[in-house]
Amino acid sequence: MANQFDYDVLVLGGGPGGYVAAIRSAQLGLKTALVEKEHLGGVCLNWGCIPSKALIRNAEIAHLLARGREFGFSFDNLQMDFGVAVKRSRQVSDRLVKGVGFLMKKNQIDVIEGFGTLTGRQTIQVGERSVSAANIILSTGGRPASLPGMEFDGERILNYRQAIVQDKLPDSLVIVGGGPIGMEFAYVYRAYGVDVTVIEMLPHVLPNEDVEVVDVVSKAFRKDGVRLLENTRTESVKTDESGVKVTVKDLSSGETETISADQVLIAVGIRPNSDGIGLEAVGVETVRGWVQINNRMQTNIPGIYAIGDLTGKMALAHVASAQGIVAAETIAGVETLPIEDYSAMPRCTYCHPQVASMGITEAQAREQGYEIQVGKFPFQPNGKALGLGDKEGFVKIVTDARYGEILGAHMVGPEVTELLPEFGLAKLMELTPAEIARNVHAHPTLSEVIMEAAHAAVGHAIHM
């Protein structure tokens, strides 16, 4: 790299994309710095993936305790302190953030604190300091999107970042948006006894998932007392001293309803953090604020790369990390694996039952003209699932009938988020269900359901 620059690589933003890009760059012998305005680890470690999973663990225990008699134990005076759950989630988050700081030091990455702005193709201004680099990786992430007339106030109208740290439970909560974030919060709050309503404008919650998967989740949520209003648009949110009044419209019937609650959580996606970072001054191409990239994370400006939520590809931490590695390897000129197909990326929702998927759904495969073969196997006959007392759900594999190529894998049930990598590896290595079926899976494990679904895809499920 040229010696006239302060660094070979300068990363703007220290989330799961940015800090991974910095580490990979340093591993490849590039002099690297990272600019972060707030906290290393970004939304994921501080206010998203990690603290929410800690809360979900508490919710799982609360959910299990409610089934105590089934397992032979009971309580005279069970008390659940949500404040302790939130405190634990913050401790988990803090520990991982400190770990990222350690990794920065270990890899000799300079961390520059402050808000960074592009002032040239190879310079970023951070406060009074101008920092130069041969290559810049933009990783400024995204922020919660609001709806017109429903601006966040942190008390009555919340976004996920505000909700994740509040340690007092409302008696009632309306969640606008039935995607993964909305459904995970619905699960947590309901497990602690909150009256929860979820509003989703599209025909069903978790709209990116296979409809059969969604049916299982919807049934479980409704059984637990969560009200799901699908194909329903949120018209307005009004606040007063008593709480919020959410007016919704059923898009099928046209009827409106006003729901009273203590709080409303808006979970309708994200917007890119592309304002004020100098994109226009340098000429970086954007569409509605999302930075445009190719399969190697390169923008239209040579030497400037972009990764993570900022690119609008897939707002998932593991996608950002994968993009960061590709960007670093491209800069270093070493072999990499360009990201061509984002639909193949793993997707997980950590409610109960869990949802995990990759690739296209059965409906999408038919719409795209594939002749398909579907293999499906339930958890109900699985010995491990029965032992856990968690037998709802199934594994479903969608394949190209002609070649056996795995087009999609869709799972709902116990710990399916941990089972998903087997399909990811199979897809990467171009394996078919025939090979998965012949791979011996330990007994008794939940993973046997994957093997059985693979057998079913080739026409001979063993235990069905």
Query: What is the rounded CA–CA span in Å between residue 357 and residue 355?
Result: 7
Q: Report DSSP state, residue 462.
A: S
Q: Report DSSP state, residue 109.
A: P
Tokens linked to 424: 């990811």
Distances (CA, A) of 65 to 58, 83, 184: 11, 18, 19
Strand order in the sheet with 227-230: 157-158, 263-266, 172-176, 195-200, 227-230
Cβ neighbours of 388 (radius 10 Å)? 14
Interhelix angle 211-223/180-191, rounded to 10 degrees, is 20
Give the 3-state secondary structure of residue 58: helix
Distances (CA, A) of 195 to 54, 149, 200, 214, 385: 21, 24, 17, 21, 29
Give the 3-state secondary structure of residue 46: helix
Catalytic residue among 39, 352, 443, 463: 443
Sign of the CA dihedral 12, 13, 18, 19? positive
Give the 3-state secondary structure of residue 215: helix
> 406-413 and 394-400 as β-strands: parallel, antiparallel, unpaired?
antiparallel
Tokens linked to 86: 């939130």
User: In which residue are the tokens 């196997």 written?
Assistant: 377
Asked if 392 contacts 220 with a C-beta cutoff of 8 angstroms, the reply is yes
Q: Report DSSP state, residue 311.
A: G
Tokens linked to 149: 């007339």
User: In which residue are the tokens 């309503």 written?
Assistant: 197
- Active-site residue flag, 443: yes
Going by C-beta distance under 8 Å and a sequence separation of 6 or more, which residues neighbour residue 139? 11, 12, 13, 14, 15, 17, 18, 21, 306, 307, 308, 310, 320, 324
> Residue by residue, what is the 3-state secondary structure of 333-360?
CCCCCCCCCHHHCCEEECCCCEEEEEEC
User: In which residue are the tokens 């659940």 written?
Assistant: 80
Task: Return the CA Rg of the chain.
Answer: 23
Which residues are marked as active site?
Answer: 443
